Amino acid sequence: MNFLTKSNEDYLEAILILEEKYDRVLSVNIAKFLNVSKPGVNRAMNILKENGLIEKTDYSEITLTTKGRELANQVYDKHKTIKSFLIQLGVSEETAENDCCLIEHVISNETYEKMKLFLKKETAN
């Protein structure tokens, strides 16, 4: 799907989620949201920036570029779809949330498509 590592995909996704929730996104918010250290966030932001996915200067807040927002949305959509799929399977909301974070990084597009198909069928009833 893209050129980011799992970890950086998570950072990117977190920015989108936090942006929807608050007016601006600070490193410290990402750190708290993902339960990682501030230097961890800092390094990830540099990588996202190098890849043209966010805009940021030293000590500034973080904003998604158009490209970054698109990619983040793709990742987040996948996240939400897999979560719904797991819930449909009978998994609890909490576990679904945890597991989908991990599954979203490893499954093929084919499996992802089949999950969407399954959801469509089940929801039709």
Residues engaged in binding its own copies (CB under 8 A): 86, 89-92, 95-96, 98-99, 102-103, 106-108, 110-111, 114-115, 117-118
Taking the least distance from each CB to DNA, the nearer of 60 and 92 is 60
Query: 3, 120, 116, 112: which is closest to 53 by C-alpha?
Result: 3
The nearer residue to DNA, 7 or 73, going by C-beta atoms, is 7
Q: 29: number of CA atoms within 13 Å, CB side?
A: 17
CB 16 within 8 A of CB 69: yes
Is 21 a residue that touches DNA (CB under 7 A)? no
Q: Smaller CB distance to DNA: residue 5 or 111? A: 5
Q: CA–CA separation, 110 vs 107, rounded Å? A: 8
Q: Binding residues for DNA, per CB under 7 A?
A: 5-8, 10, 26-29, 31, 35-45, 56, 58-61
